[in-house]
Amino acid sequence: MSGPGHGGWFLPGYRIVLHRFVTTALMRKRIWLILAVSALCELQTSFAEAPDKGISQVVILVHPCPYEAIGKAADDPYRALERAACQRWFGAIPSLPLTTFAIQVDFGSEGPSPGKLHTAFIDRLGSGRVCRIPCQVTSPEKPSSIEEYYAFIHQRIMQQIATQGLTFDPSTCKTIIWGQSFEGCAAGFGSAIAYKLGMKTPTELFYTMSAPDAPFLLKATFIQNVQIPSSDVQAYVFDLNDGRCAAFFRSCLTPQWLDHRPITLHIDSTRFSVFTKYGDLIWPNGAPLTDDQKKNSRYNQWRTIDWPKEVPPPGPKSFTLATVQERFVITAKPHMQELISVIQLARVKS
C-alpha cells in the first residue's frame, strides 16, 4: 500500500486545489502578458503620433470673426458666412498633422471665437507650435508701416520656432491660409508671412475657409482656381448667381499688399467690366476719380497705381490691374469660359 509522496494516491480535494492553483497562475501570466503587450502598443502609438521637431505645414489664421466682435446680428449675411467659415476652422483643427505650426493674427478685442480657436490649436498641437500675434491697424496705402509690421510678425514667429527647437524646409513646407477677409487681410497677411518665411510652395487659400468683403460674393458659388501661366498669381472664378460671373486675383508667393506687378488682361469692354470689391465700376466708363478718392487712406478701395511707362493705358480691348488693388473682373455668366481663357492668356510683368 502506497501513500502520499510515494507515487501513490492524492486526495480528491488536493487535486482540485492544485488544478485551481495552476489555472490561476496561468491566467495571471496571460493577464500580465496582455497588459505588457497593450502597454507596448500604446507606447508605439504614442511614438508614432508624437511629432518630431520638423514643421511640415504652416496654418495662418487671420482676423477670425470680426463681425462677431462688432455684434452683427446672427442673420446678417456677412455674419452667416463668417460663422460657417469659423465652424469649418473648428472642424479642421482636430485633424491637423501634429507637425503643423499655427500662426494666429487677431485683435484681442474680437469676440469669444478667436480665443476658443487659439485654445483648439493648442489642444491639438501644443503651445509650442502655436504663435498668437496681436494685430496692428495698417493697410497697403502705407507701405513703410506695413513692412515694419510684417518684420515684427516674422520676428515673433522665428523667435518661437527657435525657442522650441523647431525646423522647417522652405522648399517643401506648405502654407495654408484661413481667415478674413478673403480679398483683404487673409490674402494680404497670409502671403506676406509666407514670403518672409521664404516659402517656395505657393500658399493655399481655400474660399470656403474664409469670408468676403464684396457684397456680390454673399450669394456666390466658387467655381474654380485658374493659374496665370509663368507666375504665382491665380484667379478665383465665381458664379455670382445673379446672371454674372467674376474673377478675383491673388498673389500666392508675393506679399499681396505690396504687389504692384502689372497684370495685363485682354478683355473686350463690350462684354467685361472691372469693379472694386465694394461694387464700384472702374472700367469701362467708370466715373473719374475725385480728389478725395485719389488720396491715400486706409483700405482705399480705389487704390490707384502709377504704372511704368511701358504699361499701356486701359483701352477697349485690354485692362491692367495688380493684386494689391483687389479688383474683380465681371461678365455675363454665358461668358464664363471666355473669362477663364482670358485668365489663361494673361501675363504678369515682373
DSSP calls for 219-281: T-EEEEEEEPTTSSEEEEEEE-SSSEEEEEEEESSS-GGG----EEE---TTTEEEE-TTS-E
- Per the listing, cell 463668417 goes with 82
pLDDT at residue 29 in the model: 52
Q: State the average pLDDT over residues 42-62.
A: 72
The percentage of the chain sitting over the pLDDT mark of 90, rounded to a whole number, equals 70
pLDDT at residue 303 in the model: 79
pLDDT at residue 130 in the model: 98
Q: Is the peptide bond before 284 cis (omega within 30 degrees of 0)?
A: yes
Nearest to 329 by CA among 211, 235, 234: 235
Any idea where the domains of the chain sit in the sequence?
A: 54-212, 214-350
Architecture of domain 54-212: 3-Layer(aba) Sandwich (3.40)
Is residue 32 pLDDT above 50, yes or no? no
Is residue 168 pLDDT above 70, yes or no? yes
Is residue 135 pLDDT above 70, yes or no? yes
Cell of 261: 506687378
234: left (phi over 0), alpha (psi -120 to 50) or beta: beta
pLDDT at residue 309 in the model: 87
> 212-245 pLDDT, tens per residue?
999 999 999 999 999 999 999 999 999 999 999 9
pLDDT at residue 288 in the model: 76
Is residue 4 pLDDT above 60, yes or no? no
Which range among 15-24, 203-212, 292-301 has the greatest average pLDDT?
Answer: 203-212
Please tell me the distance from the alpha carbon of residue 226 to that of residue 249, in angstroms, as a whole number.
Answer: 9
Sheet of 233-239: strand order equals 221-227, 233-239, 244-251, 328-332, 272-275, 281-283
Q: State the average pLDDT over residues 100-114.
A: 87
Structure-model confidence comparison of residues 341 and 49, the more confident one: 341
> 242-275 pLDDT, tens per residue?
999 999 999 999 999 999 999 999 999 999 999 9
Please tell me the distance from the alpha carbon of residue 225 to that of residue 202, in angstroms, as a whole number.
Answer: 13
pLDDT-derived band at 11 (thresholds 50, 70, 90) equals very low
Of 38-52, 117-131, 194-208, where does mean pLDDT reach its minimum? 38-52
pLDDT at residue 245 in the model: 98
Nearest to 323 by CA among 235, 226, 238, 244: 235
> 33-51 pLDDT, tens per residue?
444 445 444 544 444 445 5
Is residue 10 pLDDT above 50, yes or no? no
Q: pTM (2 decimals)?
A: 0.83
pLDDT at residue 296 in the model: 53
- Per the listing, cell 508624437 goes with 50
Cell of 209: 475657409
pLDDT-derived band at 300 (thresholds 50, 70, 90) equals low
Is residue 17 pLDDT above 90, yes or no? no
